[in-house]
Structure 1
Amino acid sequence: MTSDSQYDLVILGGGAAAFAAITEASRRDLSTAMVNTGLPIGGTCVNVGCVPSKHLLAVAESGATATENPFDAVRYPEEPTVDWADALDGTDQLVERFRQENYIDVAEHFETDIYEGYGQLVDDTTIDVVDGADEGARITGKRALVATGSSPWAPPIDGLDDIDYYTSETILEERDLPESIVMLGGGYIALEWGQILHRVGVDVTLLQRSERVLSGMEGQLGREMQRAFEEEGINVITGNNFQRIRTPATDGGTETIQSGVVIETTVDGPERTVTGDALFVATGVQPNSEGIGLDTAGVKTNPDRTIRVDEHFQTTNPDIYAAGDVIGEPELETVAAKEGNHAVKNAFGDEDLSIDYDAVPAVVFTSPEVAAVGTTELEYMDEHGTCSCRTVQMEDVPRAKAVKNTDGLVQVVKHHETNEIVGVHMVGPRAADMIMEATLAVKFGLTVDDIIDTTHPFPTFSEAFKHACQAFRRDTSTMSCCVE
């Protein structure tokens, strides 16, 4: 295909940021085109991120129901099993439906031209398709948006480049799982995939470099999740200083056969060797910013290779904007979408919109779930030299006790003078849904008394947030269930 087409907006990428951008562009009657590079249309979230992982977390949770049943009155005649290949087939069908209904059909509705192939900026806001189905096409826009996303990142550990390993993308292609897996990483990807694999029958050992998992979140959350994982049977080793990764050699008779993986590490000084049948690297992501013509277009990057943008998502080329994972943290689908939306409004409407990232919630969809928004206790202490914080345990929440699902806690951080809620951090059942009330509190400056004065339905898990606010005003250990 060879063409030279003019549009109002041209986009390099085909994920959440790109589709939010074409939605806003359509509202403004702007012509749009995108070059979808890398993953199939829809990007990380629908293809290898949110949709497949949350589907498989639900599959794995159903498979673990018998072993984690807390009620003596409920009996299972036999332990459920999970057919991994069937689970992946179901995931593929779900992804295909999402991709068609939420992306391909949407692009058609907004009359966006989609070019499939590897795109490069070649002259200001001009993109050439240099490889793929539409190789040879050239599109030019009045403005351009770079939304190329990110890819799994592997750390520089001696020997890792010589080992075959899984990532959150490649594991979705593996129909026959090994008996044991060693996972590198302790963030949300490692925790979610570690629990999925453990619950479908894989022996999982999780190795984290820092002293706790979820090291970027409030400290209590990581400690609580490590306790929950170890109680479930997932081996978690923190404080690793990785020395080398290699494949053990075994005698195969006439030749030496390489099988499995060996991680040589030190933990608090002593050397330690961890072995498994396979390796899963879940140590974060890197921006897809190389080889797409940024230098040619005058777009500068930061030392970590993320695209440099101002608070309005404009790059160092005033006609080019960038959004999504390629500009850095937080690498979240909803954030990418909002960035893409704001980039179009700023580029074509001079609206100067930005995002308050302190009011963006983060969620880990494990069991128990993890959710957080705003300032941590340590961050507040560093800034103010004091902290007014309260924590309640889920085991003290009536709903959690009633359903025997008591893992977790809720911590509230408030301003020591104004009583405004500046941070909420939680582990527990349905934390991913509970965090939205806390997000509104942080975003709009609500106080702990505003939450206390709001009637909550009883009994619900959401009362845990209210109880944590009440802990600033009373001793909750002597509080009746229905005290307001």
Structure 2
Amino acid sequence: MGEPTEYDLVILGGGAASFAAITEASDRGLSTALVNTGLPLGGTCVNVGCVPSKHLLALGESAFAPQDNPFDAVRYSDDEPTVEWSAALDGTNALVEQFRQSNYVDVADHFETDIYEGYGELVDDTTIEVVDGADEGACITGNKALVATGSSPWAPPIDGLDDVDYYTSETILEERDLPESIVIIGGGYIALEWGQILHRVGVEVTILQRSERVLSAMEGQLGREMQRAFEEEGIEVVAGNDFQRARAPAADGGAEAIQSGVAVETTLDGTKRTVTADALFVATGVQPNSKGIGLETVGVETNDDGTIHVDEHFQTTNPDVYAAGDVIGEPELETVAAKEGNHAVKNSFGDEGVSIDYDSVPAVVFTSPEVASVGTTELEYMDKHGTCSCRTVQMEDVPRAKAVKNTDGLVQVVKHHETDEIVGVHIVGPRAADMIMEATLAVKFGLTVDDIIDTVHPFPTFSEAFKHACQAFRRDTSTMSCCVE
């Protein structure tokens, strides 16, 4: 190892947390360098996560629109829309490249951050060596170090899974010829978003979920409503699976299996079932990229699940090393990673002691209908207080939803049973991803249901559904005119 190049801050990783860190460091006049490990610069979100998936969800929605037309006055011919998947990926790749250049490469150049490409390892306290890749042999050191290596798709320990080919949210973006049918293992946001993308571009989709409902980490009504919406659209959703085995069917009954499809053996309500398809997609979550990066060498401890152990200020067990983003665990969101990276710099160089209130971080699933949630669920509140003050309104009772004939979904509000402060809001419906921000501010700043009722909302909008759910604590909303305050 040669003499290391010195900086104020050195970073292992090149995603959202890293770039929020270099932005804050630049504002403080600090010199920075990062080693980009794994995905191209920009990390998961821009390369294989948010940007490509939302682009393809919009593409799928356009393809599906004629079939989903709710207006009798509008007529379409019997011709089905045709989606050229290879062309769709070309458009996706062009968009990703645009985002990567403008939001990461140009930003790094603006802040005069040195970028080293290759696989990096911590080798001595805050020193990182590039051990493989384009800049192999380079060595950088800093007064402080930040580990922001992100996460990768995780596959569950299902018998035979290692012996069959399967897609993940990363590898599906490399597939130019889609199968006619696919079975997806998983029921979280990745499974639902990709399930709908693939279904709407012409793939027959079956989703297999281990727990009793999809989106099992969210409020129960959301998962049940999404399962109903998906099945109505033609996507088969099977919950409550006890997975036994994954295998490739044997060709012509022979003893040696040839991968010409996939079979998933599961037990459902005590009954054995085999689900077959042309291909398999594993969407069961992510695992932190914490192995093989020298954490043990520099005294950085990890938790049982492999995430890096940090305190509330993002400091690891090595006081000169901080960590942020997916590698420290949930919630694995780009915006949270950026906030963590920013705070890590503030704490490491400014001793500001800033932390994050994760209870007021919203979660969104960008399916159609969309799903959005913030704060405490009904079950969580019941477990803590032994009671719950909750109200739910259906989108079919919201004037805007009825006017545009887009009535799938609901809004539930959970309030404190004594103070009336809003502690949780859970939405399924059109534009839920945009609606959740008003609810997030309510949870973050302790607004009451009356604060929302007393705020004039534009009519007719989907956002009125949140107000209606708050009004349901005060009146019978079934006998309410459109604009009652």
Query: What per-residue deviation string (whole Å, max 9, x for no partner) do you get for residues 432-477 of structure 1?
Result: 0000000000000000000000000000000000000000000000
Distance across 1 between alignment mates of 2:64 and 2:26:
45
| Preserved contact between residue 168 and residue 282 of structure 1 (Cα < 8 Å) | yes
Residue 64 of structure 1 aligns to a residue whose secondary structure is helix
* Higher mean C-alpha displacement, 411-420 vs 248-257: 248-257
User: How high is the sequence identity, in percent, across the aligned residues?
Assistant: 85
Distance across 1 between alignment mates of 2:110 and 2:2:
24
Per the alignment, residue 18 of structure 2 pairs with 18
Amino acid at match of 1:364: V
- Verify: 1:65 aligned to 2:91, yes or no: no
CA-CA distance at 1:80 after TM superposition: 1.9
Per the alignment, residue 45 of structure 2 pairs with 45
| Preserved contact between residue 165 and residue 259 of structure 2 (Cα < 8 Å) | no
Distance across 1 between alignment mates of 2:165 and 2:298:
36
Per the alignment, residue 142 of structure 1 pairs with 143
Per the alignment, residue 338 of structure 1 pairs with 339
CA-CA distance at 1:257 after TM superposition: 4.1
| Preserved contact between residue 251 and residue 257 of structure 1 (Cα < 8 Å) | no
Per the alignment, residue 301 of structure 2 pairs with 300
CA-CA distance at 1:76 after TM superposition: 2.1
Residue 426 of structure 1 aligns to a residue whose secondary structure is strand
Query: What per-residue deviation string (whole Å, max 9, x for no partner) do you get for residues 193-217 of structure 1?
Result: 0000000000000000000000000
| Preserved contact between residue 2 and residue 135 of structure 1 (Cα < 8 Å) | no
* Higher mean C-alpha displacement, 255-264 vs 295-304: 255-264
Query: What per-residue deviation string (whole Å, max 9, x for no partner) do you get for residues 261-292 of structure 1?
Result: 01110011111110000000000000000000
- Verify: 1:124 aligned to 2:125, yes or no: yes
Give runs of aligned pairs for residues 198-213 of structure 1, distance below 5 A: 198-213=199-214
TM-score of the pair, normalised by structure 1: 0.99
- Verify: 1:282 aligned to 2:280, yes or no: no
Per the alignment, residue 319 of structure 2 pairs with 318
Residue 391 of structure 1 aligns to a residue whose secondary structure is strand
- Verify: 1:272 aligned to 2:256, yes or no: no
Distance across 2 between alignment mates of 1:70 and 1:82:
22
| Preserved contact between residue 199 and residue 205 of structure 2 (Cα < 8 Å) | yes
Distance across 2 between alignment mates of 1:318 and 1:3:
23
CA-CA distance at 1:253 after TM superposition: 9.9
Per the alignment, residue 223 of structure 2 pairs with 222
Residue 251 of structure 1 aligns to a residue whose secondary structure is helix
Distance across 1 between alignment mates of 2:378 and 2:231:
25
| Preserved contact between residue 118 and residue 132 of structure 1 (Cα < 8 Å) | yes
| Preserved contact between residue 213 and residue 238 of structure 1 (Cα < 8 Å) | yes
| Preserved contact between residue 145 and residue 323 of structure 1 (Cα < 8 Å) | yes
Amino acid at match of 2:32: T
- Verify: 1:36 aligned to 2:44, yes or no: no
Alignment length (residue pairs):
484
| Preserved contact between residue 246 and residue 261 of structure 1 (Cα < 8 Å) | yes
Distance across 2 between alignment mates of 1:198 and 1:290:
35
Give runs of aligned pairs for residues 147-296 of structure 1, distance below 5 A: 147-251=148-252, 257-296=258-297
| Preserved contact between residue 3 and residue 137 of structure 1 (Cα < 8 Å) | no
Distance across 2 between alignment mates of 1:435 and 1:52:
22
Query: What per-residue deviation string (whole Å, max 9, x for no partner) do you get for residues 67-100 of structure 1?
Result: 0010111122333221111000000000000000
Residue 317 of structure 2 aligns to a residue whose secondary structure is coil
Amino acid at match of 2:34: M
Distance across 2 between alignment mates of 1:300 and 1:333:
24
| Preserved contact between residue 14 and residue 148 of structure 1 (Cα < 8 Å) | yes
| Structure 2: runs of 5+ lacking an equivalent | none
Amino acid at match of 2:118: G
Give runs of aligned pairs for residues 386-401 of structure 1, distance below 5 A: 386-401=387-402
| Pair 1:374–1:254, CA change in 2 (3 A) | closer
| Structure 1: runs of 5+ lacking an equivalent | none
CA-CA distance at 1:250 after TM superposition: 1.9
Per the alignment, residue 414 of structure 1 pairs with 415
Amino acid at match of 1:53: S
Residue 191 of structure 2 aligns to a residue whose secondary structure is helix
Distance across 2 between alignment mates of 1:321 and 1:258:
44
CA-CA distance at 1:4 after TM superposition: 2.2
| Preserved contact between residue 2 and residue 134 of structure 1 (Cα < 8 Å) | no
Distance across 2 between alignment mates of 1:268 and 1:253:
31
| Preserved contact between residue 422 and residue 448 of structure 2 (Cα < 8 Å) | yes
Amino acid at match of 1:321: Y
Amino acid at match of 1:64: F
Distance across 1 between alignment mates of 2:271 and 2:393:
37
Distance across 1 between alignment mates of 2:419 and 2:228:
35
Distance across 2 between alignment mates of 1:253 and 1:314:
56
| Pair 1:2–1:39, CA change in 2 (3 A) | farther
| Pair 1:253–1:306, CA change in 2 (3 A) | closer
CA-CA distance at 1:256 after TM superposition: 6.8
CA-CA distance at 1:251 after TM superposition: 2.0
Per the alignment, residue 461 of structure 1 pairs with 462
Q: Tell me the C-alpha RMSD between the 2 structures.
A: 1.3
* Higher mean C-alpha displacement, 253-262 vs 416-425: 253-262
Distance across 2 between alignment mates of 1:453 and 1:278:
53
| Pair 1:332–1:166, CA change in 2 (3 A) | same
| Pair 1:253–1:354, CA change in 2 (3 A) | closer
| Preserved contact between residue 389 and residue 413 of structure 1 (Cα < 8 Å) | yes
- Verify: 1:383 aligned to 2:353, yes or no: no
Distance across 1 between alignment mates of 2:221 and 2:259:
41
CA-CA distance at 1:6 after TM superposition: 0.1
| Pair 1:254–1:188, CA change in 2 (3 A) | closer
CA-CA distance at 1:258 after TM superposition: 3.6
Distance across 1 between alignment mates of 2:253 and 2:135:
48
Residue 251 of structure 2 aligns to a residue whose secondary structure is strand
Amino acid at match of 1:319: D
